[in-house]
Structure 1
Amino acid sequence: MKKYDFIIAGGGMAGLSLAYYMTRSSLRDRSILILDREQKNRNDRTWCFWENGAGPFESIMFRKWNTVNFHGTTHSGPLDLGTYEYKMLRGIDFYAFVQKELDKWPNIERRQATINRIKDTPQGGFVIADDEPYIADYVFDSTLTLRTDQPENHNLLQHFKGWVIKTERPCFDPKQPEIMDFRVEQHGDCRFVYVMPFDAQTALVEFTLFNDKLMTDAEYDADITRYLEQYLDTGTYQIDETEYGIIPMSDTHTEENPSEHIVRIGTSGGHTKASTGYTFQRTQRYLRAIVENMAATGVPNRNPPWFNKRFKLYDSIFLNVLQKRRHSAADVFTRFYAENHPVKAFRFLDEDTRFFDEIRLFTTMPWWPFTAAFFDVIRRKLIG
């Protein structure tokens, strides 16, 4: 049985990004094995996120915008992003770019296999994939499924379905995407539509929900169709691509370093922002920190300042407001973006704000629902 320096279990966004950052560090000559059951040769997803300045994947960004539209309860119109840009990255472009870079390194192996088991041993991290054993000094695992059965935690899902459509009439503004359009029926949930325009007649239109119950394909399709009929003068249109996804919005505690030789990454490592479901940028930041620590010290452990844990409390409070339906989610998001400058809002979501900035932001939220949520979160944690 061959031993590797590193095994990356799961070759999706997190696993491929980790390998990419390793090639940009002093770890570039280490033996690396990437295991994944899929080949990553199709456009299975799209990542949209905000970023201040150029990032490591700037050359493959599909679209970038300086202004976005937002439709909420008391605000409808553009939001100026200041120094930030809202960016769109297609999965197929990301996979092709990273895989091309990794092909330059003969010390990096990729195998298509289903991972059966991962465990820690005194000799290293042990992986069985398609009944074949592998071992490494460290295993980076992005395959763990979060538990959602602890009553003291909040467990919602961000689930969505999107169509890339080509329309008969020019009905999209290529300079302004719709990041949240709450004009759809809410049914007591948080429901909105993204519209990411490619040009005046082509766009990704995506229907998104925050709740704990998935819908059927027909229900997603009906909501997208209804939105197009009510708010866009498309004429006839054709559906060129379809995407579907589920992202956990959970404050369940996840150990990034559960044992000596195993490190969890991506959603498995808690890299998804619990209150928003945003994962791409957060994962990139954490992976860079892991690689930097490993290059400097030989161990991958990140050691964030203890005071940064306050953001987990903020996430739990927001999830409590949503889960208990304490206040209209559309109104909460409207207050968040309309009564705070988008730059400050993005910094808060990136967990880059100071405590006094956060207090100012909290004053723009409906005080009673969030106060009730705060005490309920504390009660749950004490009972749990």
Structure 2
Amino acid sequence: MKKYDFIIAGGGMAGLSLAYHLSQSPLRDRSILILDKEDKKQNDRTWCFWEEGEGPFESILFRKWQTVEFHGTGFAGPLDLGNYQYKMLRGIDFYDHVRSHLAQFPNIEFRQATINRVKETPQGGFVIANDEPYMATYVFDSTFPLDLKDPDRHNLLQHFKGWVITTQKPCFDTGRPRMMDFRTDQRGDCRFVYVLPFNETTALVEYTIFNERLLPEADYEQALKQYIANFLDTGSYQISETEYGVIPMSDVPTKERPSKHIVRIGTAGGHTKPSTGYTFQRTQRAMQAIVRSLVTRGKPRRRPSWLRKRFKLYDSILLNVLEQNRYPADDMFTRLYEDNPPTKIFKFLDEDTSLGEEFRIINSMPKKPFTIALLHVLWRRAF
């Protein structure tokens, strides 16, 4: 049985990102095996994220914007993103680009296989895929499922359905996407719509919900039809693509390093932001940090400071407010964007803010529901 330096179990966004960053490092000549059950030839998802300056995948961005629209309950208008840009990357473009780049390296192998098991052994990380055994010094696993049934934690879901529509009338402002539009029936949840324009007659319109339960397919479609009818002057329109997804918004503790030779990455490694569901940029940062550690220390160990744990507390408090319906979500996000510059909000969500900046953002939130949420979170953790 051949032993690899690295096995990447799961060739989705996290796994391919790790392989890409390894290929850009002094470790580019290490033997790497990437295992995934799919061939990644479908445009199965779209990632949107904010970023300062240019990132490693700038050349394959589908769209990027300097200004976005927000529609809340008592505040609406364009948001100037300052030094940030809001970026859109299609899954198929990412897969094609990274796999084409990695194909230049004969030491990197791809195998399409279903991963049956990942386990620790004294000799290294051990993987069984399609009933075949594989061994590596380190296994990077993005397939480990989160436990979303822990009653002592918050286990919400971000679920969405989107249509790429082509309209009879030119009705989209190509320079101004709608990032969050709360002009849809909230039904006691947090519900909003994204509108990401490709050109004046084509856009992705996506209906998004934060709660604990998925909807029947017809409910997503009805909400999309209603929003388009009420807020987009399309004339007739045709649906050319459909996307659907579910992202965990959970503060269940994750172990990025469950054992000596196994490292979990992506959502499995805790790289999804619990309070927003954003994963792409956080995963890039995590993968780059892991590669730096491998290069400098020979081990894939990130060591965030203990002070950064405060952001996990912030996430839990917001999840508690949403889970317990302590304050209307549309009003809460309206206050957030009305009272704070978008640049500060993005910096806060990227966990790059100082304590003073965090205090000013937290102070703009309604005091009573967030104080009750804080006490509830602390009580849950204590008992």
C-alpha displacement at 1:29, in angstroms? 0.4
User: 1:221 corresponds to which residue?
Assistant: 221
Residues 1:304 and 2:304 are matched in the alignment = yes
Q: CA deviation at 1:216?
A: 1.5
Equivalent in the alignment of 2:40? 40
Instruction: Give the TM-score normalised by structure 1.
Output: 0.99
Written as runs of structure 1 = structure 2, the 5 A alignment for 1:170-249 is 170-249=170-249
Pairwise CA distance, 1:149: 1.6
- Which residue pairs with 1:330 in the alignment? 330
Give the partner amino acid of 1:99. R
Measure the CA separation in 1 of the matches of 2:258 and 2:298.
17
TM normalised by structure 2 equals 1.00
- Distance (Å, rounded) in 1 between the aligned partners of 2:38 and 2:331: 40
Residues 310-351 of structure 1 show CA distances to partners (whole Å, capped at 9, x for unaligned) of 000000000000000000111111111121000000000000
Give the aligned partner of residue 30 of structure 1: 30
Work out the CA distance in 1 between the residues paired with 2:376 and 2:6: 42
Q: Within 5 Å, which residues of 2 pair with 1:1-384?
A: 1-383=1-383
- Per the alignment, in what secondary structure is the counterpart of residue 272 of structure 2? coil
Where 1:171 maps in the other structure, the secondary structure is: coil
Return 5+ residue gaps in structure 2 as ranges. none
Deviation at 1:154, TM superposition (A): 0.2
SS at match of 2:229: helix
Structure-1 separation of matches of 2:333 and 2:101: 39
Q: Percent identity?
A: 65
State the alpha-carbon separation in 2 of the partners of residues 331 and 92 from structure 1: 36
Flag as ranges the 4+ runs of structure 1 deviating above 6 A: none
Please give the secondary structure, in 2, of the residue aligned with 1:356. helix
Distance 2:115 2:73 in 1: 46
- What amino acid does structure 2 have at the position aligned with 1:340? N
Aligned equivalents of 2:216, 2:114: Cα separation in 1: 27
The 1-side partners of 2:152 and 2:337 are apart by 30
Structure 2 CA distance, aligned partners of 1:57 and 1:294? 22
Q: Find the aligned partners of 2:49 and 2:338 in 1 and give their Cα distance.
A: 19
- Measure the CA separation in 1 of the matches of 2:32 and 2:264: 16
Corresponding pairs, count? 383
Secondary structure class of the residue paired with 1:193: strand
1:56 Cα deviation from its structure 2 partner: 0.3
| RMSD, matched Cα | 0.5
- Mapped partners of 1:329, 1:137: distance in 2: 46
**Displacement after TM superposition at 1:151 (Å):** 1.1
Of stretches 9-18 and 146-155 in structure 1, the one that deviates more from structure 2 is 146-155
Q: CA deviation at 1:217?
A: 1.4
CA distance in 2, matches of 1:54, 1:306: 30
| Alignment partners' CA distance in 2, 1:342 and 1:240 | 32
- Equivalent position SS for 1:40: coil
